Amino acid sequence: MKIHSLHVYILDLPTIRPHHLSMHTIVTQTIVMACVKSTDGLEGWGEVATIGGVSYGEESPESIKLTAEKYITPLILGKDPTNFDALSHYISTNVKGNYFAKALVESSVVDLVAKSKNIPAYELFGGKCHDSLSVAWTLASGDTGKDIEEAQNCLQLKKHNIFKLKIGKGDPKENVAHVTKIKAAVGDQASVRVDVNQAWDEATSLYCIEALEAGGVDLIEQPLAAWNNEGMTRLVSRFKVPVMADESLGTVQDAYQIAKHRAADVFALKPAKAGGLTATKKIAAIAEASGIPLYGGTMIESTLGTAICAQLYSTIPEMSFGTELFGPLLFKDNVTLNDLDYEKFQLKIPEGPGFGLEVDKEKLKHYAREFVGSTI
């Protein structure tokens, strides 16, 4: 079996409500999907997602597509996809940076290989350690009463018992008060966490984290700018509440530096930022060797991208802080024929060949910005 072709599609999926971050508000989420075909006609599908074009990271959906099609495709045509780890290394030696594009291609190749062997993709990464993973839900109405009502409803229906609030936008003191009221309302029934998305300086962080810690909040995500590892180290040493690295943690090298300088208590894993699934497993190994617990992050992918992350996270023995794989629940529609199973506060790991999902090509045509029907 050899790789015959690769095609990339940019899709825009509407969300059920606005999703607020410090740098962008999502009302339509852009995902990038890739289809790799083998010489015997088998297809593998991959996905990555971006947030707000280039407001979150340096790669845009358009640049991901261009890099994958123009620069990575020539490197993989005619190659044996079963050697996907060696293939990813070969790509990295010839393409600098562009981690989202690399992750997109690698995931599609992994899906292809697993399908060719008629096994779930997680078996290519050592097999699963978990049948399901806990999933956090983001409370984002901005109204304290509505957020409390939503949280209590999620608890009653056994949908989520981990709640995250994006508090990087607006007045920090008001945001802290908003969060602590929610925590007081749900009490010990749920874990309440916050994500600052790099919006605070160190002085603001000192005041706000102290108040959040006193209010019972369980996790503080990326309070400082991604470059400020020294500041993160000072916050980690000062507070008992764990401080998590997200935007500052991308590559394997980032993971080593953060672990070495204790610039975080927790690592947020994200395959797209790491450059793929194989790189993410290496980051998890660095965390394990350093005694740093893990959290399964999201770039708010659709069902396919969420399944990709879930299958990989299922192979990591310790996922102490759960995951944030709620992406499909935020979309009005999805682009797979089968759906993911959320119940009893958990996401079940999808089974079946590859990542366990079949792409709905009619939905792909509907949501894609540009579609060439002859390629699939």
Q: What contacts 283, CB < 8 A, 6 or more positions away? A: 249, 252, 255, 267, 269, 274
CA distances from 293 to 245, 260, 285 (A): 11, 15, 11
Q: Enumerate the H helices of the chain as residue ranges.
A: 61-66, 73-76, 84-94, 99-117, 144-156, 172-186, 202-214, 229-238, 252-261, 271-274, 277-290, 303-313, 327-330, 361-367
Q: Are the beta carbons of 87 and 113 closer than 8 angstroms?
A: no
Nearest to 179 by CA among 204, 199, 196: 196
Token pair 């990326």 in the structure block, residue: 222
- Provide the token pair at 246: 């997200």
Bridge partners for 342 per DSSP: 347
Report helix, strand or coil for 139: coil
Using alpha carbons only, what angle is made at residue 214 by residues 209 and 218, rounded to the nearest 5 degrees?
Answer: 70
Q: Which amino acid is at 17?
A: R
User: 118, exposed or middle or buried, with CB in 10 Å at 0-12, 13-18, 19+?
Assistant: exposed
Residue 85, classified by CB atoms within 10 Å of its CB into exposed (0-12), middle (13-18) or buried (19+), is: middle
Strand duo 25-38 + 3-20: pairing: antiparallel
Tell me how crowded residue 136 is: count the other CB atoms within 10 A of its CB: 27
Residues that are catalytic: 166
